[in-house]
Chains A and B, each alone.
Chain A
Amino acid sequence: MSSSIESLVNKEYAYGFVTDVESDTIPRGLTEETIRLISAKKNEPEWLLDWRLKAYRRWLTMTEPHWPNVTYAPIDYQAQTYYSAPRSVKPLQSLDEVDPELLKTYAKLGISLTEQKRLTGVAVDAIFDSVSVGTTMKTELAAVGVVFCSFGEAVHSHPELIKKYLGSVVPYSDNFFAALNSAVFSDGSFVYIPKGVKCPLELSTYFRINAADTGQFERTLIVADEGASVSYLEGCTAPKRATNQLHAAVVEIIALDDASVKYSTVQNWYAGDKDGVGGIYNFVTKRGKAQTNAKISWTQVETGSAITWKYPSVILQGDNSVGEFYSVAVVNNRQQADTGTKMIHIGRNTRSTIISKGISAGQGQNSYRGQVKVLPKAEGARNYTQCDSMLIGNACGAHTFPYIEVANNTATLEHEASTSKIGEDQIFYCKSRGLNAEHAISLIVAGFCKEVFKELPMEFALEAQQLLGISLEGSVG
């Protein structure tokens, strides 16, 4: 049995190739000059450069957090490269002008940017290292007033929205990695859904790290105006490299009154080899603010990265607002994940749901860290948390660190957690019905993750299925 588990969890990383493109890469190191250089390359207005510099100066005063349950060698921030872009990418180019080499890269990743083969119903913004390569379906979206473009483009086309909302949920002073991102972020996606508009397409950003020794620092900002709704997906891959690469992203979501935002992630950065050499350090700050009757839902399937440090959170500011967090985190070999969520209940009758499924295999260490905080004014707040861990093999670990802080007596909180090994009796039951061990395990794992997978949009549910090497067909409904 253990050999079939091993073959199941030790699948080869399929996205580890490198694209050979000529890049415009700035020298290593981080100083004010680096920031001015990045800002100049993007032809940014003065106010944005000022904001970056403020973030940088703040970052200099901060120390890297060491409370997560992960260990890694010290990061030399001066040895990193903070900007790298394919030379062929021109500002505001149309998709027809995109370098065929880049189109091929995305095609290999299963993302077709060319007109004929695009996924129906999905608009894609493709980010390659530090810049956006192009965004599909722009015309269709423009027809209903939806703005979906690269962050760099939005700075010029919608400065008033960027000025108003940038840093409004995750201020640059929030934490060490958020401050670093605010100083050096190069690109990312911007979404604005106007009042009352239900976005007709799924919006998707595909992040690809290609260049060596280069960090990716993207920044995503999603604003759903009153009564608007949108479903947004992101995917991430990187080549196999023997050195660790830094990915420090920030995602901010603003859901105004009665708006609804669903944000899904399938994170499959390179995880390093079986001995823990190489892989992405994934240090991400994701947070949304929900106003009256608004809803923000995070769904994540985290299978990649050497180290994952992320806590997609919701500030339940408005009355009756809703926050959700659905997560599957898989660690294998030497991977370490410290992930979870924060639900901050401020408004009345705010509700939050947390479903976290952790799977640990090999020598992987998986930690759930979550905070549910009910402030004194949050009358009638409710939270339900369930976090389950499954252990495959005897060299891995599962940890849960929930923080529950309640300062209102009308709040109701329920928290359940369990850890268990994959059930021998379940495997035997399946085998006695004719299923082999591998099929039995994939079935049981799929069942274990079902509550999260069913939250993913169709296209991503399929990708998640492939990622876990399991067949979900029909078992997820």
Chain B
Amino acid sequence: MTVPYTDQFAAFSANGGGEGPAWLPALRAQAFERFSALGFPTTRDEDWHFTSVTPIAERTFKAVKAAPTALTLSDIEPWLVDESWQRLVFVNGRLEPALSNFSELPAEVQVSTLSEALREEPEWVKKHLGTLAAFDRAAFTALNTAFMQDGVVVRIPKGEVVEVPLHILHVTDTQAAGAAVHPRLLVVAEAQSQLVMIESYVGLGQASYLVNGVAEISVGDGARVDHYKIQRDSLEAFHVGTVQVTQGRDSIYHSFSYAAGAALSRTNVYTKLVGTGGEARLNGLYVLDGTQHADHQTFVEHLAESCASRELYIGILDGASHGVFNGKVYVDPIAQKTDGKQTNKALLLSDKARIDTKPQLEIFADDVKCTHGATIGKLDDQALFYLKSRGIGSDNARALLTYAFAAQVLETIEVDALRLLLERAIFARFTNLALE
């Protein structure tokens, strides 16, 4: 059997992919070799039990053509959310300087493309790139590592508090139909620094493409990173994204993952609590309809004492959509005083919708407090009746309760403009009303 993407990798290596410091092509080759050995995961793989990637595996996505984009600022304006946010805008996997604007970031904060960073600080990049996101057992991460191109590198020096949110917007349009993009993000927040980052993915026009992203985030001692991932890809697209975080002592990593786009999506949020007193908050909301399939997998590794993890994932499934949530919490023997809590709730709005959930605890330390809870069901009849008895029509009552269900997790969003955006989107999706 021929390994898919072999020719593409050869072409890529011969044409630009081989550039950069000598270790980089070696890393790519090693990653591609690993991908070839692993192949795409199947449902026999425990981590992919409920999600078949056959639609991705059975075709070969081509490389994006290096053509200039016709998109203008007004085309992407609806997706910018807040003018004050600093932004890097990528179209079909390439940075568009004309659409980007991050001039108001503090001078100490380094934000650059991967290729720039490789030119300017190759040793520093080498120290971090690919060290967090291991690809030995992850085919998609291996594939990204082999093909990654215009990545983003963010370095927040020690003690620097970045007040204004950084928005990394990935726009994919019909120009990329049938192609794959492999966005890469490397964030190093040094000790006591702070960053709020919004990573969003949107599809313009209904094209079928594959986004296969990898983010590596290092949160230093006492540092805090808020990471919002907003996935609104084309309903014909495929989205696979892996976020791998490592957290130092007393650090906070706050993640929020919103998935409303793509025909098939898989979002992995993995964090390792390696310093004592660290805290991970992993939240998410997936809202699906039609035949959409969205799978979230979280993995919190408690590897040090006195760390806390909090997870809340909410799913709202309509049509014949299929939601999957797999949350793993691992507590190492040395991770005493761990405090872990995981909750996932799903609402099935139609009789064709399906949810599979697998919350998992693996605990090897005794002085711990870990809980997980899962609830699945339809709207509460009692609450519906209550609203109706107060004169609210049946449809509106349902819509309100559905919105309220989502609001439980939306309220964890600390960036006002973003919370408002998603609240409005959810409200409009389930009611005919506008939210004031």
**Chain A–chain B contact at Cβ < 8 A:** yes
Question: Is B369 located at the chain interface by the 8 A CB criterion?
Answer: yes
Residues of chain B within 8 A of A277, CB atoms compared: none
Known pairs A394-B333, A419-B368; A410 contacts B376 (CB<8 A):
no
A415 touches B350 (CB 8 A): no
Residues of chain B within 8 A of A112, CB atoms compared: none
How far apart sit A405 and B50, CA to CA, in the bound complex (Å)? 9
Chain B facing A: main interface SS = strand
B348 touches A417 (CB 8 A): no
Number of chain B interface residues as a range: 35 or more
B374 touches A418 (CB 8 A): no
How far apart sit A394 and B367, CA to CA, in the bound complex (Å)? 8
A404 touches B363 (CB 8 A): no
Known pairs A406-B356, A419-B370; A412 contacts B364 (CB<8 A):
no
List which B334-367 residues lie within 8 A (CB) of chain A.
336, 346, 348-351, 353-367
A421 touches B356 (CB 8 A): no
Known pairs A392-B366, A416-B371, A421-B366; A402 contacts B351 (CB<8 A):
no
Known pairs A67-B46, A412-B377; A399 contacts B362 (CB<8 A):
yes
List which B181-218 residues lie within 8 A (CB) of chain A.
none
B377 touches A395 (CB 8 A): no
Question: Is B373 located at the chain interface by the 8 A CB criterion?
Answer: yes
Known pairs A404-B358, A405-B356, A406-B348; A413 contacts B366 (CB<8 A):
no
Question: Is A261 located at the chain interface by the 8 A CB criterion?
Answer: no
Chain B residue nearest in CB terms to A399: B362
Chain A residue nearest in CB terms to B364: A397
Chain A facing B: main interface SS = strand
Question: Is A408 located at the chain interface by the 8 A CB criterion?
Answer: yes
A391 touches B354 (CB 8 A): no
Residues of chain B within 8 A of A398, CB atoms compared: 361, 363
Known pairs A404-B356, A409-B348, A415-B359; A420 contacts B377 (CB<8 A):
no
How far apart sit A406 and B46, CA to CA, in the bound complex (Å)? 18
How far apart sit A391 and B369, CA to CA, in the bound complex (Å)? 10
B373 touches A415 (CB 8 A): yes
B358 touches A401 (CB 8 A): yes
Query: Which of B50, B357, B360, B375 lies in contact with A400, CB distance below 8 A?
Result: B360
Least Cβ distance of B305 to chain A in Å?
Answer: 12
Question: Is B419 located at the chain interface by the 8 A CB criterion?
Answer: no
B376 touches A413 (CB 8 A): yes
Question: Is A38 located at the chain interface by the 8 A CB criterion?
Answer: no
Chain B residue nearest in CB terms to A376: B351
Question: Is A64 located at the chain interface by the 8 A CB criterion?
Answer: no
Task: Write the B52-68 contact mask toward A (1 if CB under 8 angstroms, else 0).
Answer: 00000000000000000
Which residues does A use to contact B, with CB under 8 Å?
67, 376, 389, 391-421
Given contacts A402-B359, A403-B358, A413-B375, 15 further A-B contacts (CB under 8 A): A392-B366, A394-B333, A396-B364, A400-B360, A404-B358, A404-B376, A406-B348, A408-B351, A411-B376, A412-B377, A415-B359, A415-B375, A416-B373, A419-B369, A421-B368
Can you sample 14 A-B contacts with CB below 8 Å? Answer: A67-B46, A399-B360, A399-B362, A399-B363, A403-B356, A405-B50, A409-B353, A411-B348, A413-B375, A415-B372, A415-B374, A416-B373, A418-B370, A419-B369
Minimum-distance CB pairs A-B, first 5: A409-B348, A391-B366, A415-B374, A412-B377, A413-B376
Which residues does B use to contact A, with CB under 8 Å?
46, 50, 333, 336, 346, 348-351, 353-378
